[in-house]
Amino acid sequence: MGEGEIDYVFKVVVVGDSAVGKTQLLGRFAKDQFFLDSKSTIGVEFQTRTLTLHHKQVKAQIWDTAGQERYRAVTSAYYRGALGAMVVYDVTRRATFDHMAGLP
């Protein structure tokens, strides 16, 4: 492939309850940023990061889903085509872990 061309693209969705840190993990991974005050995600947002692995250009599309129950029907449609999911919960709030059993 030519200079700057992408060899692989993969999609990962980040799922979990509201206010467990999904958006912060995404911001740190994609842009090496961390904000103490962030707003709840409405619907779905995504960011990308291109990495070089074994001399190949790999673009990661990381999709940040809203944690509120009212958005679950909308966000589950974005799971399609994902190669994996990152399940995020707050270790100080047991309920955020227990809610993961109800994910599609």
Average pLDDT in the 7-23 region? 88
Structure tokens at 65: 């889903």
For 46-103, the pLDDT digits (tens) are 888 999 999 999 999 988 877 655 445 555 677 788 999 889 999 999 999 998 887 6
Domain residue extents for the chain: 20-102
Please state the rounded mean pLDDT for residues 2-30: 85
Give residue-wise pLDDT tens across range 31-50: 877 777 777 676 678 888 99
Is 20-102 CATH 3.40.50.300?
A: yes
Per-residue confidence band for 8, with pLDDT thresholds at 50, 70 and 90: very high
